[in-house]
């Protein structure tokens, strides 16, 4: 690579670190602008040594998988509810592939609704992580038992982070 490619890559990398999902938490908690929040939360995680933690974030993957499972369950319900050969069949297939259409619609509706719910829960998890990074002493003072459990669990998975 030549120098111009390296410089361009460096600029893109420095811009990308300010655009992250953790910045939304800072915007909601402290009212910063989005770019300022991105910078602050990146600095917070870097100072705590948590770069691996944000790179390792599996919460969104788990919630996406759960949304897919809900979509597939709704797909199955849609297919069996409108299949004329099933005991639960409600309609006949006189107008085309009704079970296939209902299965597809069931999958889409189930996936969308589950994704909305899971994104809300994922945002709550992100907020807990940011608040834990931002104020561990306050958490310890107000909820010592929960703080101890979270630190112990955290150190099991990330022994070098110094939670």
The pLDDT, as a whole number, for residue 80 is: 85
Residue 9 has pLDDT above 80, yes or no: no
- pLDDT tens column, 84-119: 665 545 555 555 677 788 899 999 999 999 999 999
The pLDDT, as a whole number, for residue 112 is: 97
The enclosing H or E element of 13 equals: helix 3-16
> Which range, of 41-50, 51-60, 85-94, averages the lowest pLDDT?
85-94
Distance, in Å, from the CA atom of 119 to the CA atom of 111, rounded to the nearest integer, reads 12
> What is the model's pTM?
0.71
The region, left, alpha or beta by phi > 0 then psi within -120 to 50, assigned to residue 13 is alpha
The pLDDT, as a whole number, for residue 74 is: 95
Q: Chain-wide mean pLDDT for the chain? A: 81
Return the sign of the alpha-carbon dihedral for residues 158, 153, 127, 72: positive
- pLDDT tens column, 76-92: 998 888 756 655 455 55
């Amino acid at each position: 690579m030549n120098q111009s490619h390296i410089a361009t890559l460096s600029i893109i990398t420095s811009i990308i670190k300010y655009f992250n999902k953790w910045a939304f938490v800072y915007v909601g908690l402290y009212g910063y602008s989005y770019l300022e929040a991105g910078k602050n939360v990146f600095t917070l995680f870097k100072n705590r040594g948590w770069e691996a933690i944000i790179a390792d974030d599996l919460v969104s993957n788990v919630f996406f998988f759960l949304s897919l499972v809900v979509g597939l369950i709704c797909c199955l319900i849609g297919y069996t509810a409108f299949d004329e050969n099933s005991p639960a069949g409600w309609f006949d297939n006189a107008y085309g592939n009704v079970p296939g259409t209902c299965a597809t619609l069931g999958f889409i509706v189930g996936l969308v609704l589950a994704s909305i719910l899971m994104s809300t829960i994922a945002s709550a998890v992100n907020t807990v992580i940011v608040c834990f990074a931002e104020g561990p002493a306050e958490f310890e003072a107000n909820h010592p038992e929960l703080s101890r459990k979270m630190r112990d669990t955290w150190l099991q998975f990330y022994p070098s982070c110094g939670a």
